[in-house]
Structure 1
Amino acid sequence: MRTAVVLFTRDLRVHDNPALAAACANADRVVPLFVLDPKLAGLSPNRLRFLHQSLADLRATLRDRGGDLVLRTGDPVAETMKVAGEVGATMLGMAADVTAYARRRERRLTAECERERISLRLFPGVTIVDPGVLRPGGGGPAYKVFSPYHRAWQSATWRDEVATPRRITVPDGVAAGGMPAIGAGESPDAAGGGETEGRRRLGTWLNHLDPYPDLHDDLPADGTSRLSAYLRFGCVSPLALANAARQRNAEAYVRQLCWRDFYYQVVLTFPKISTDAYRPNADDTWRADPEALKHWQDGQTGVPIVDAGMRQLRAEGWMHNRARLITAAFLTKHLGVDWRPGLAWFFRWLIDGDVPNNSGNWQWVAGTGNDTRPYRRFNPIRQAQRFDPDGVYVRRYVPELKSVEGAAVHQPWRLPADIRRGLDYPGPLESHRDEAVWLRP
């Protein structure tokens, strides 16, 4: 009997999972496997909680189909090969990925599978269009600018979604392994993980796509999908989401999914995106200011729109995309602080934090990455007045300012002195890049 091992990584779902579908079609017995790497356990309590919830949900779904999720803890390559040897597997399948960590894992698995005469296959599924498929017409391994990539991406042929296996047969005698305890995380209002929850949210979101072009930047409306964490862990198929959005002619939303693919193809050829500037000679003007960084991290900059975003991050393990741009720009372009500590802070808290998108967007804002206008600025007050005109978003996350009415909440330093004294809210941090006219009382 032919036996296959499917190593789950960032594809924690049974629907549209090419690696799982292929294993079930070509083998008599299938071992769905996930290996918990202790080296990654301490990076983000929020993501660890979401991961454990997703694994519990995946195990339940697999058991409904007669299978199970086998869990191991340790080095992913060593544990995978150990399981493969125990069950006599001749095939190993997994989703291809682009990060340096994932590529090292793939190279090591390739070498081990060759040594043990096991067939290793890498499958799509983490993105909509495979990261290495689209190449610039003028040469080069990857597109450096989004617009031409978007045009090529729009005309690319997408793979077909694969069917969900109806039945999964696991070899007898395989120990499933204990499910890790689901901790509390750090963000009290964080979303719950898992394919079941992800697909529920997807179904709800598809009924709210029509106003997306008008509301996706509106901070108080919160008119975005909030599916990013489910895409990051593969609880929702990006292809299935894009197909469903295209069927509803929601091209503005599909374009955002293209941005996600764009950064994956960038990281495939530039794996140091979290540590090195993508644009050479664009990374030598930063200053160290631990005190300013701490105020920014704590949501105590004295600039309400920035503080609201940073407090949303802590409370929910998520932040509205427009607020991400504003807060990142404030740290880098106004305070002049290096983008890497900001990137690391987001990585700690964001449930959807992944290398391609978190790092790519930070570099875009800092002017070190894939932005054709690297010197662009985001004036936080103008951004607030445009995308939170009545101050609803600010008051939602900065309770010290709940008594301030209307747009005045965005510039509390302009209020009369007696009102300011009663707010228990700090004055704005000083800018180190310009005179910051927007801060003057």
Structure 2
Amino acid sequence: MSVSIVLFTSDLRVHDHPPLRAALRASSEVVPLFVRDTGIASAGYAAPNREAFLADCLGDLDTALRACGGRLVVRSGDVADAVAGVAAETGADAVHMAGGVSAYAQRREERLRNVLEGQGRRLVVHDSVVTAVAPGAVTPASSDHFAVFTPYFRHWSEQRLRDVLAAPRAIRVPDGVATEGTPSRARVSGTSPGLAAGGERAGRKQLTAWLRRGVAGYEDGHDDLPGDATSRLSPHLHFGTLSPVELVHRARGAGGPGADAFVRQLAWRDFHHQVLAARPAAAAHDYRTRHDRWRSERAAARDIEAWREGRTGYPVIDAAMRQLSHEGWMHNRGRLLTASFLTKTLYVDWRVGARHFLDLLVDGDIANNQLNWQWMAGTGTDSRPNRVLNPVTQAKRYDPDGAYVRRWVPELAGLAGAAVHEPWKQPGPERAKYAYPDPIVELAEGLERFRRARGLD
């Protein structure tokens, strides 16, 4: 009997899974394999929230595979060595996997290919599994990637997406393949108390509810902080429990301005993936340098700590940072505001903020996290690199009655309406009642420092 291995990475699902379907077409027996990559931890990318969500995803994937007569095989260690070991045990002639974009993913793929070819086996890498449109599928005439979103989106929208693949009905796994078993969320410590549940079933249920009740209002409501009108599907996209191809198809099927706006956000995700695939160094280095002389972490230590803990004295910033701590997730408008505040008002290196986000975000995706941070820092693909978001103005626009702030900064719950965004304006005796810090920097002072550092004065 012929045997193929399906190496699951960021595609932890059975619906719309090209590597799995290709392996089933090619072989009579298939080994669904996940390797708990020790390199992730040594590279500093392991985080409790993602480890817990991953445990949910793997348990759910194993359940789905067992419903088809299969099971998930879990191993730990170096990915190439682990996969090669399973291939030798089973006599597999091919390994199928989804393509990745980060420098780490590209090195992993290259090493795996070399090891397998040394054994006389094939590595088959499938596109449009982690993204809707594969990185490099659309490029401008003069470059290997698009550096501006608008023309990218135009070309992206013209691409014909592959059809959505049904989940397999039957999977036969070779006898005797040992597994470590799936991990348990309960054994992961240090998680955020409000962390959402992971797994394909949870993701598909959430997607169905979103398409029925949420997407229609997305265009008008996606920036509404208290309304929480976003899909919250980003963790499922990060772990691949939902297919971006299926999401685009289903959103387009729903139709309307809200669905169009949602599809545009999915295109933004693909945009960042194609940038990182072409420029892997952008995960750690400026995509476009502004020759910043950032404040050192030592000099800015108190400001950085106040930002991390949600006690900057700017309520909307603190609310967003506390949401991140509690849920392992943050509203997108909050991400923009907190990133602008750290990099431009406090003039702290974007890598400090990106690292903190990766420590907590359950959807901590290298491409989207790092390149969105660079966007706000002005070192990325933004055509307005020196824009600064005023947290007070933004709060009054996107949290006009202060409900979002009062939800996450309860010490200010006694301040009604928009007054909650500027507690420092309260009369002395009234202000003393609230156990809330004064602003750590005046906005005008921060703006002047940033403009001076960028040579804009």
TM-score interval (norm. to shorter) = over 0.9
1:181 is aligned to: 184
1:398 is aligned to: 409
Structure 2 length as normaliser, TM-score?
0.93
What is the aligned-residue RMSD (CA, Å)? 1.1
Looking at structure 1, the residues matched to 162 and 347 of structure 2 have their Cα atoms a distance apart, in angstroms, of 44
Q: 1:271 aligns with which of 280, 283, 298?
A: 280
1:79 is aligned to: 82
Contact 2:37–2:78, Cα closer than 8 Å, also in 1? yes
Q: Note the C-alpha offset of 1:184.
A: 4.5
Q: Note the C-alpha offset of 1:163.
A: 2.3
Q: 1:62 aligns with which of 50, 61, 65?
A: 65
Q: 2:370 aligns with which of 359, 372, 377?
A: 359
Looking at structure 2, the residues matched to 163 and 64 of structure 1 have their Cα atoms a distance apart, in angstroms, of 14
Looking at structure 2, the residues matched to 135 and 37 of structure 1 have their Cα atoms a distance apart, in angstroms, of 32
Bigger mean CA offset, 393-402 vs 40-49: 40-49
Contact 2:6–2:96, Cα closer than 8 Å, also in 1? yes
Q: 2:295 aligns with which of 287, 290, 304?
A: 287
What letter corresponds to residue 97 of structure 1 in structure 2? Answer: G
2:3 is aligned to: 3
User: Is 1:434 equivalent to 2:447 in the alignment?
Assistant: yes
Q: Counterpart of 1:218 in 2: which secondary structure?
A: coil
1:113 is aligned to: 116
1:126 is aligned to: 130
Looking at structure 2, the residues matched to 113 and 44 of structure 1 have their Cα atoms a distance apart, in angstroms, of 30
User: Is 1:300 equivalent to 2:274 in the alignment?
Assistant: no
Contact 1:186–1:314, Cα closer than 8 Å, also in 2? no
Deviations 1:14-39 (A, max 9, x none): 00000001111110000000000123
Q: Note the C-alpha offset of 1:435.
A: 5.5
What letter corresponds to residue 309 of structure 2 in structure 1? Answer: D
What letter corresponds to residue 271 of structure 1 in structure 2? Answer: P
Q: Note the C-alpha offset of 1:263.
A: 0.3
2:454 is aligned to: none
Identity of aligned residues (%): 50
Q: Note the C-alpha offset of 1:120.
A: 1.2
Contact 1:68–1:176, Cα closer than 8 Å, also in 2? no
1:206 is aligned to: 211
1:192 is aligned to: 197
Looking at structure 1, the residues matched to 203 and 171 of structure 2 have their Cα atoms a distance apart, in angstroms, of 22
Contact 1:218–1:387, Cα closer than 8 Å, also in 2? yes
Bigger mean CA offset, 304-313 vs 111-120: 111-120
Contact 1:129–1:153, Cα closer than 8 Å, also in 2? yes
What letter corresponds to residue 433 of structure 1 in structure 2? Answer: G
Looking at structure 2, the residues matched to 346 and 306 of structure 1 have their Cα atoms a distance apart, in angstroms, of 14
1:412 is aligned to: 423
Structure 2: gaps of 5 or more residues: 450-457
Q: Note the C-alpha offset of 1:135.
A: 0.6
Looking at structure 2, the residues matched to 416 and 92 of structure 1 have their Cα atoms a distance apart, in angstroms, of 68
Looking at structure 2, the residues matched to 349 and 3 of structure 1 have their Cα atoms a distance apart, in angstroms, of 39
1:246 is aligned to: 252
What letter corresponds to residue 40 of structure 2 in structure 1? Answer: L
Looking at structure 1, the residues matched to 265 and 181 of structure 2 have their Cα atoms a distance apart, in angstroms, of 38
1:222-241 to 2 correspondence within 5 Å? 222-241=228-247
2:139 is aligned to: 135
Looking at structure 2, the residues matched to 385 and 8 of structure 1 have their Cα atoms a distance apart, in angstroms, of 44
1:150 is aligned to: 153
Structure 1: gaps of 5 or more residues: 437-441
1:338 is aligned to: 349
User: Is 1:53 equivalent to 2:85 in the alignment?
Assistant: no
Looking at structure 2, the residues matched to 309 and 284 of structure 1 have their Cα atoms a distance apart, in angstroms, of 26
What letter corresponds to residue 233 of structure 2 in structure 1? Answer: L
Q: Note the C-alpha offset of 1:185.
A: 4.3
Looking at structure 2, the residues matched to 74 and 66 of structure 1 have their Cα atoms a distance apart, in angstroms, of 27
Q: 2:223 aligns with which of 217, 222, 230?
A: 217
Looking at structure 2, the residues matched to 135 and 381 of structure 1 have their Cα atoms a distance apart, in angstroms, of 39
User: Is 1:258 equivalent to 2:262 in the alignment?
Assistant: no
1:167 is aligned to: 170
Q: Note the C-alpha offset of 1:286.
A: 1.2
Looking at structure 2, the residues matched to 272 and 422 of structure 1 have their Cα atoms a distance apart, in angstroms, of 49
Contact 1:273–1:355, Cα closer than 8 Å, also in 2? no
Q: Note the C-alpha offset of 1:419.
A: 1.3
Contact 1:76–1:105, Cα closer than 8 Å, also in 2? yes
Looking at structure 2, the residues matched to 299 and 374 of structure 1 have their Cα atoms a distance apart, in angstroms, of 26
Q: Counterpart of 1:272 in 2: which secondary structure?
A: helix
Looking at structure 2, the residues matched to 283 and 233 of structure 1 have their Cα atoms a distance apart, in angstroms, of 35
Looking at structure 2, the residues matched to 283 and 254 of structure 1 have their Cα atoms a distance apart, in angstroms, of 35
Looking at structure 1, the residues matched to 336 and 227 of structure 2 have their Cα atoms a distance apart, in angstroms, of 17
Contact 1:279–1:368, Cα closer than 8 Å, also in 2? yes
